[in-house]
């Protein structure tokens, strides 16, 4: 992973970093590093000891479980609402899932021992991380239910909406093969489902580029799983649309913040 030299992306575009009190944010800021994440970059494999926690800004990272045969299925997606690496502060230091970049972009990362120094103060960071973990567990549980009981059409709508909520605009970069792998279904099923959405004017799809044209209709076509996850996230986490009174970090060319 290489450091991005363009410094226009603020760490505050990650909702968790933005929600931190300024005193906590200022203690963490010297250890925040900007990284560029390419499609299919592996953040960690199952069983790896976690070295960093990642705060996505405009990228989507999928947490998935990989079977012995090589097949995989998505259990959750993380974007600008969250953090990747919860096993570090939950006490396990590793996890049975793998984390892979599914939409390229940028994130901020902090070395685990610096992050844990603040977490172990048993203050605002700990509370925020535990509440986020509960919202992530809701998404994982709802994904399992969705994959068991709902159609591929509904699963695709759910995935598109979750991805849309975690990106800065209405454009999603995901191939049909990638979506099929995330949902644990055949590519042909995704092709058919995407074709239906395109015919209804809900999305525009071309060569792995998806533009959401009618979000309201996409929500109507989705199952209740998306709404459950969205409402629980809203209940548990602060409203980042509110103005947080703090200065924006400056980012050096080597990725360090101050």
Return the CA Rg of the chain: 18
Q: What is the pLDDT of residues 17-52, one digit of tens each?
A: 999 999 999 999 999 999 999 999 999 998 899 999
pLDDT of residue 250: 39
Q: What is the mean pLDDT of the chain?
A: 87
The CA-based angle 224-193-165, given to 5 degrees, is 50
- The Cα-based distances of 172 to 46, 164, 168, 175 in angstroms read 26, 7, 10, 9
pLDDT of residue 248: 40
Least confident window among 101-110, 149-158, 174-183: 174-183
**Residue 162 pLDDT > 60:** yes
**Stretch(es) of the chain classified as CATH 2.60.120.10:** 1-148
pLDDT of residue 65: 85
d(CA 212, CA 223): 17
Q: What is the pLDDT of residues 97-107, one digit of tens each?
A: 899 999 999 99
pLDDT of residue 73: 76
Residue 107, beta-bridge partner list: 35, 56
d(CA 11, CA 120): 22
Tokens of 122: 């048993």
Classify residue 235 by its DSSP letter. H
Q: pTM value?
A: 0.86
d(CA 164, CA 43): 21
Q: What is the pLDDT of residues 237-250, one digit of tens each?
A: 887 654 444 434 43
The verdict on domain 1-148 having CATH code 3.40.50.720 is no
The verdict on domain 151-222 having CATH code 1.10.10.10 is yes
- The Cα-based distances of 116 to 48, 59, 85 in angstroms read 18, 24, 12
Q: Phi/psi of residue 187, each to 5°?
A: -60, -35
pLDDT of residue 139: 94
**Stretch(es) of the chain classified as CATH 1.10.10.10:** 151-222
């Amino acid at each position: 992973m290489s450091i991005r030299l363009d410094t226009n992306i603020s760490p505050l575009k990650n909702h968790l970093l933005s929600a931190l009190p300024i005193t906590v944010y200022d203690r963490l800021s010297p250890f925040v590093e900007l990284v560029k994440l390419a499609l299919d970059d592996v953040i960690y494999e199952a069983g790896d000891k976690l070295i960093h926690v990642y705060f996505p800004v405009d990228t989507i990272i999928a947490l998935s479980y990989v079977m012995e045969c090589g097949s995989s299925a998505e259990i959750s997606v993380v974007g600008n609402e969250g953090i990747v690496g919860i096993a570090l502060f939950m006490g396990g230091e590793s996890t049975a899932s793998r984390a892979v970049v599914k939409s390229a972009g940028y994130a901020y990362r902090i070395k685990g021992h610096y992050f844990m120094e603040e977490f172990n103060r048993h203050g605002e960071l700990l509370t925020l991380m535990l509440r986020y973990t509960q919202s992530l567990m809701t998404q994982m549980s709802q994904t399992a239910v969705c994959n068991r009981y709902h159609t591929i059409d509904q699963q695709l709508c759910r995935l598109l909406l979750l991805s849309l909520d975690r990106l800065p605009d209405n454009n999603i970069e995901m191939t049909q093969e990638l979506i099929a792998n995330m949902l644990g279904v055949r590519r042909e099923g995704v092709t058919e489902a995407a074709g239906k959405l395109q015919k209804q004017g809900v999305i525009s799809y071309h060569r792995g580029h998806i533009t959401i044209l009618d979000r309201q209709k996409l929500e109507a076509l989705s199952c209740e799983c998306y709404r459950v996850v969205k409402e629980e996230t809203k209940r548990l986490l602060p409203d980042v649309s509110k103005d947080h009174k703090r200065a924006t970090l400056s980012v050096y060319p080597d990725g360090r913040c101050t």
